[in-house]
Protein backbone atom coordinates (compact mmCIF):
# COMPACT_ATOMS: atom_id res chain seq x y z
CA UNK A 1 0.00 0.00 0.00
CA UNK A 2 1.24 3.53 -0.78
CA UNK A 3 2.23 5.70 2.15
CA UNK A 4 0.96 9.29 2.36
CA UNK A 5 4.01 10.79 0.60
CA UNK A 6 3.76 8.31 -2.27
CA UNK A 7 0.05 8.98 -2.58
CA UNK A 8 0.56 12.74 -2.68
CA UNK A 9 3.23 12.34 -5.33
CA UNK A 10 1.03 10.14 -7.50
CA UNK A 11 -1.91 12.51 -7.18
CA UNK A 12 0.27 15.55 -7.87
CA UNK A 13 1.66 14.03 -11.05
CA UNK A 14 -1.64 12.74 -12.37
CA UNK A 15 -2.63 14.77 -15.46
CA UNK A 16 0.28 17.14 -14.95
CA UNK A 17 0.99 16.96 -18.67
CA UNK A 18 -2.46 18.47 -19.27
CA UNK A 19 -1.57 21.52 -17.23
CA UNK A 20 -3.33 20.46 -14.04
CA UNK A 21 -2.36 18.89 -10.74
CA UNK A 22 -4.87 16.61 -9.03
CA UNK A 23 -3.81 16.20 -5.42
CA UNK A 24 -4.74 16.16 -1.77
CA UNK A 25 -4.48 19.41 0.14
CA UNK A 26 -1.36 19.34 2.30
CA UNK A 27 -1.51 22.76 3.95
CA UNK A 28 -4.06 25.08 5.53
CA UNK A 29 -3.56 27.38 2.54
CA UNK A 30 -4.57 24.54 0.18
CA UNK A 31 -7.75 23.92 2.17
CA UNK A 32 -8.56 27.63 2.20
CA UNK A 33 -8.31 27.70 -1.60
CA UNK A 34 -10.96 24.98 -1.82
CA UNK A 35 -13.15 26.84 0.68
CA UNK A 36 -12.87 30.05 -1.36
CA UNK A 37 -13.92 28.17 -4.48
CA UNK A 38 -16.87 26.78 -2.53
CA UNK A 39 -17.85 30.27 -1.40
CA UNK A 40 -17.68 31.62 -4.96
CA UNK A 41 -19.93 28.84 -6.25
CA UNK A 42 -22.32 28.22 -3.37
CA UNK A 43 -22.75 31.74 -2.00
CA UNK A 44 -22.04 34.11 -4.89
CA UNK A 45 -23.27 31.98 -7.79
CA UNK A 46 -26.03 29.90 -6.20
CA UNK A 47 -27.11 32.41 -3.54
CA UNK A 48 -26.79 29.91 -0.70
CA UNK A 49 -26.68 30.97 2.93
CA UNK A 50 -23.33 29.59 4.09
CA UNK A 51 -21.19 29.53 7.20
CA UNK A 52 -17.96 31.50 6.96
CA UNK A 53 -14.79 31.50 9.03
CA UNK A 54 -13.62 34.68 7.28
CA UNK A 55 -14.89 36.76 4.35
CA UNK A 56 -15.08 34.75 1.13
CA UNK A 57 -14.50 31.37 2.80
CA UNK A 58 -17.23 28.70 3.04
CA UNK A 59 -16.63 26.51 6.07
CA UNK A 60 -18.27 23.99 8.36
CA UNK A 61 -17.25 21.81 11.29
CA UNK A 62 -16.63 18.76 9.09
CA UNK A 63 -13.79 20.42 7.16
CA UNK A 64 -11.18 19.82 9.87
CA UNK A 65 -11.91 16.08 9.79
CA UNK A 66 -11.82 15.64 6.00
CA UNK A 67 -9.20 15.12 3.35
CA UNK A 68 -9.58 17.75 0.61
CA UNK A 69 -9.00 16.73 -2.99
CA UNK A 70 -8.33 19.58 -5.39
CA UNK A 71 -7.63 20.23 -9.04
CA UNK A 72 -5.11 23.03 -9.48
CA UNK A 73 -4.33 24.86 -12.70
CA UNK A 74 -0.55 24.82 -12.80
CA UNK A 75 -0.09 28.01 -14.84
CA UNK A 76 -2.12 30.18 -12.45
CA UNK A 77 -2.10 28.20 -9.20
CA UNK A 78 -5.88 28.56 -8.89
CA UNK A 79 -8.08 25.70 -7.72
CA UNK A 80 -10.69 24.94 -10.37
CA UNK A 81 -12.43 21.97 -8.73
CA UNK A 82 -12.52 20.29 -5.33
CA UNK A 83 -14.26 17.79 -3.15
CA UNK A 84 -13.74 16.66 0.42
CA UNK A 85 -13.60 13.09 1.70
CA UNK A 86 -14.63 11.97 5.17
CA UNK A 87 -13.28 8.55 6.09
CA UNK A 88 -15.05 6.15 8.41
CA UNK A 89 -12.66 6.54 11.36
CA UNK A 90 -13.01 10.33 11.22
CA UNK A 91 -16.81 10.13 11.00
CA UNK A 92 -16.87 7.86 14.03
CA UNK A 93 -14.73 10.32 15.99
CA UNK A 94 -17.12 13.20 15.34
CA UNK A 95 -20.23 11.04 15.65
CA UNK A 96 -21.64 11.12 12.11
CA UNK A 97 -21.17 11.68 8.43
CA UNK A 98 -22.39 14.98 7.02
CA UNK A 99 -25.14 13.09 5.14
CA UNK A 100 -26.58 11.99 8.47
CA UNK A 101 -27.35 15.62 9.32
CA UNK A 102 -29.85 15.54 6.45
CA UNK A 103 -31.01 11.92 6.62
CA UNK A 104 -31.78 9.30 9.22
CA UNK A 105 -29.70 6.44 7.84
CA UNK A 106 -29.01 3.76 10.47
CA UNK A 107 -27.89 1.31 7.78
CA UNK A 108 -24.57 3.18 7.44
CA UNK A 109 -23.29 1.86 10.76
CA UNK A 110 -23.88 -1.70 9.52
CA UNK A 111 -21.91 -1.37 6.28
CA UNK A 112 -18.85 -3.62 6.24
CA UNK A 113 -15.48 -2.07 5.50
CA UNK A 114 -14.27 1.41 4.60
CA UNK A 115 -17.07 3.91 3.99
CA UNK A 116 -15.92 7.26 2.58
CA UNK A 117 -18.20 10.24 2.11
CA UNK A 118 -17.75 12.74 -0.72
CA UNK A 119 -19.05 16.23 -0.09
CA UNK A 120 -18.95 19.90 -1.07
CA UNK A 121 -18.02 18.92 -4.63
CA UNK A 122 -17.74 21.95 -6.87
CA UNK A 123 -16.23 22.91 -10.23
CA UNK A 124 -15.41 26.40 -11.49
CA UNK A 125 -17.88 27.57 -14.14
CA UNK A 126 -15.15 27.67 -16.80
CA UNK A 127 -14.46 23.93 -16.39
CA UNK A 128 -17.95 22.43 -16.21
CA UNK A 129 -18.04 21.05 -19.72
CA UNK A 130 -16.69 17.78 -18.34
CA UNK A 131 -13.00 18.39 -17.74
CA UNK A 132 -13.21 19.50 -14.11
CA UNK A 133 -15.36 16.64 -12.84
CA UNK A 134 -13.31 14.10 -14.81
CA UNK A 135 -10.11 15.35 -13.23
CA UNK A 136 -11.67 15.08 -9.76
CA UNK A 137 -12.78 11.50 -10.42
CA UNK A 138 -9.30 10.57 -11.62
CA UNK A 139 -8.06 11.52 -8.14
CA UNK A 140 -10.95 9.76 -6.43
CA UNK A 141 -10.02 6.61 -8.36
CA UNK A 142 -6.54 6.70 -6.86
CA UNK A 143 -8.04 7.00 -3.38
CA UNK A 144 -10.48 4.16 -4.01
CA UNK A 145 -7.53 1.88 -4.63
CA UNK A 146 -5.17 3.26 -1.98
CA UNK A 147 -7.70 3.49 0.84
CA UNK A 148 -9.38 0.21 -0.20
CA UNK A 149 -12.77 1.87 -0.20
CA UNK A 150 -15.80 -0.42 0.00
CA UNK A 151 -18.53 2.23 -0.25
CA UNK A 152 -18.73 5.82 -1.45
CA UNK A 153 -21.45 7.83 0.24
CA UNK A 154 -22.68 11.33 -0.48
CA UNK A 155 -25.43 13.86 -1.02
CA UNK A 156 -26.08 14.81 -4.65
CA UNK A 157 -27.90 18.11 -5.00
CA UNK A 158 -30.75 19.09 -7.31
CA UNK A 159 -31.72 22.79 -7.56
CA UNK A 160 -34.92 23.33 -5.59
CA UNK A 161 -36.06 26.93 -5.86
CA UNK A 162 -38.99 25.75 -8.00
CA UNK A 163 -41.16 24.25 -5.21
CA UNK A 164 -39.69 20.83 -5.96
CA UNK A 165 -40.77 20.55 -9.58
CA UNK A 166 -37.41 19.33 -10.92
CA UNK A 167 -36.52 16.93 -8.13
CA UNK A 168 -39.97 15.32 -8.17
CA UNK A 169 -39.75 14.99 -11.95
CA UNK A 170 -36.40 13.21 -11.61
CA UNK A 171 -37.56 11.03 -8.73
CA UNK A 172 -40.51 9.79 -10.76
CA UNK A 173 -37.98 8.24 -13.11
CA UNK A 174 -35.52 7.10 -10.45
CA UNK A 175 -37.98 5.22 -8.23
CA UNK A 176 -38.39 2.34 -10.66
CA UNK A 177 -34.74 1.88 -11.60
CA UNK A 178 -32.28 3.60 -9.25
CA UNK A 179 -33.45 3.06 -5.67
CA UNK A 180 -31.32 1.08 -3.24
CA UNK A 181 -32.54 -2.16 -1.63
CA UNK A 182 -35.00 -1.55 1.22
CA UNK A 183 -32.30 -2.36 3.78
CA UNK A 184 -30.21 0.54 2.47
CA UNK A 185 -32.82 3.30 2.66
CA UNK A 186 -32.55 6.68 4.36
CA UNK A 187 -35.35 8.92 5.62
CA UNK A 188 -35.05 12.67 4.91
CA UNK A 189 -35.04 14.88 8.00
CA UNK A 190 -36.72 17.68 6.02
CA UNK A 191 -38.79 16.06 3.24
CA UNK A 192 -39.39 18.03 0.07
CA UNK A 193 -43.06 19.01 -0.07
CA UNK A 194 -45.22 17.11 -2.55
CA UNK A 195 -45.42 18.83 -5.91
CA UNK A 196 -48.77 18.47 -7.67
CA UNK A 197 -48.04 20.59 -10.76
CA UNK A 198 -46.67 19.72 -14.17
CA UNK A 199 -43.39 17.88 -14.51
CA UNK A 200 -40.35 19.33 -16.26
CA UNK A 201 -40.12 18.37 -19.92
CA UNK A 202 -36.63 17.13 -20.78
CA UNK A 203 -35.45 17.38 -17.16
CA UNK A 204 -31.65 17.34 -16.98
CA UNK A 205 -29.91 15.30 -14.29
CA UNK A 206 -27.21 17.41 -12.55
CA UNK A 207 -23.68 16.31 -13.59
CA UNK A 208 -22.52 14.96 -10.21
CA UNK A 209 -25.69 12.92 -9.73
CA UNK A 210 -25.43 11.63 -13.30
CA UNK A 211 -21.84 10.53 -12.67
CA UNK A 212 -22.83 8.66 -9.50
CA UNK A 213 -25.64 6.83 -11.28
CA UNK A 214 -23.51 5.88 -14.28
CA UNK A 215 -20.89 4.49 -11.93
CA UNK A 216 -23.51 2.19 -10.43
CA UNK A 217 -24.66 4.11 -7.34
CA UNK A 218 -28.07 3.79 -5.76
CA UNK A 219 -30.37 6.55 -4.54
CA UNK A 220 -31.25 5.72 -0.95
CA UNK A 221 -34.82 7.05 -0.89
CA UNK A 222 -36.65 10.35 -1.04
CA UNK A 223 -34.90 13.77 -1.14
CA UNK A 224 -34.18 16.04 1.82
CA UNK A 225 -34.57 19.82 1.56
CA UNK A 226 -31.52 21.95 2.30
CA UNK A 227 -33.07 25.39 2.70
CA UNK A 228 -29.77 27.23 3.20
CA UNK A 229 -28.41 26.00 -0.13
CA UNK A 230 -31.74 26.05 -1.96
CA UNK A 231 -31.36 22.44 -3.08
CA UNK A 232 -32.91 19.04 -2.60
CA UNK A 233 -30.29 16.46 -1.62
CA UNK A 234 -30.43 12.82 -2.59
CA UNK A 235 -28.41 10.37 -0.54
CA UNK A 236 -26.40 8.21 -2.91
CA UNK A 237 -24.41 5.06 -2.13
CA UNK A 238 -21.90 3.37 -4.41
CA UNK A 239 -21.06 -0.20 -3.44
CA UNK A 240 -17.72 -1.04 -5.03
CA UNK A 241 -19.04 -4.50 -5.87
CA UNK A 242 -21.49 -2.77 -8.25
CA UNK A 243 -18.97 -0.38 -9.83
CA UNK A 244 -19.52 0.07 -13.55
CA UNK A 245 -15.94 -0.44 -14.72
CA UNK A 246 -16.78 0.28 -18.35
CA UNK A 247 -18.08 3.74 -17.52
CA UNK A 248 -15.29 4.30 -15.03
CA UNK A 249 -12.73 3.67 -17.77
CA UNK A 250 -14.56 6.10 -20.06
CA UNK A 251 -14.72 8.66 -17.27
CA UNK A 252 -11.00 8.49 -16.59
CA UNK A 253 -9.98 8.85 -20.23
CA UNK A 254 -6.29 8.18 -20.75
CA UNK A 255 -5.87 7.19 -17.08
CA UNK A 256 -8.35 4.32 -17.58
CA UNK A 257 -5.80 1.69 -16.48
CA UNK A 258 -6.53 2.80 -12.91
CA UNK A 259 -10.10 1.57 -13.26
CA UNK A 260 -8.95 -2.00 -13.80
CA UNK A 261 -7.15 -1.84 -10.47
CA UNK A 262 -10.26 -0.77 -8.51
CA UNK A 263 -11.88 -3.91 -7.16
CA UNK A 264 -14.07 -4.51 -4.15
CA UNK A 265 -11.80 -4.83 -1.09
CA UNK A 266 -14.67 -6.56 0.67
CA UNK A 267 -14.86 -9.28 -1.97
CA UNK A 268 -11.07 -9.68 -1.88
CA UNK A 269 -11.18 -10.19 1.90
CA UNK A 270 -13.95 -12.77 1.57
CA UNK A 271 -12.03 -14.81 -1.01
CA UNK A 272 -8.62 -14.53 0.64
CATH class for the region spanning 83-271: alpha beta
Q: Where are the beta strands (DSSP E) in the chain?
A: 20-24, 52-54, 57-58, 67-73, 79-86, 103-104, 114-123, 149-159, 187-188, 218-219, 224-226, 231-239
| Long-range contacts of 91-98, Cβ-Cβ distance < 8 Å, separation of 24 or more | 91/65, 91/115, 91/117, 93/65, 94/61, 94/62, 94/65, 97/153, 98/60, 98/62, 98/155
- State pLDDT tens for residues 124-162: 998 887 678 888 888 888 888 888 999 999 999 999 989
Ramachandran category for residue 148: left, alpha or beta (phi over 0 → left; psi -120 to 50 → alpha): left
- State pLDDT tens for residues 19-77: 888 899 989 999 999 999 999 999 999 999 999 989 999 999 999 999 999 999 989 99
pTM of the predicted model over 0.85: yes
pLDDT at 248: 76
pLDDT at 85: 97
Which is nearest to 57 in space by CA: 37, 86, 29? 37
- State pLDDT tens for residues 201-229: 888 999 889 989 999 999 999 999 999 99
| Residue-range domain boundaries for the chain | 83-271
Amino acid sequence: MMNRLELEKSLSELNRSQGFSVRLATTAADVEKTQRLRYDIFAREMGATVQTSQPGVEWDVFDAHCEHLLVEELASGRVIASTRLLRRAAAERIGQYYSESEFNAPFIAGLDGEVVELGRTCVHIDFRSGGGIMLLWSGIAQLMRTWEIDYLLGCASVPCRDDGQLVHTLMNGFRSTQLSPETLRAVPRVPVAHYAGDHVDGAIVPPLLKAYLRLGAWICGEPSLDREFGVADLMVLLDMENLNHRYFRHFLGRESAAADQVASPRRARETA
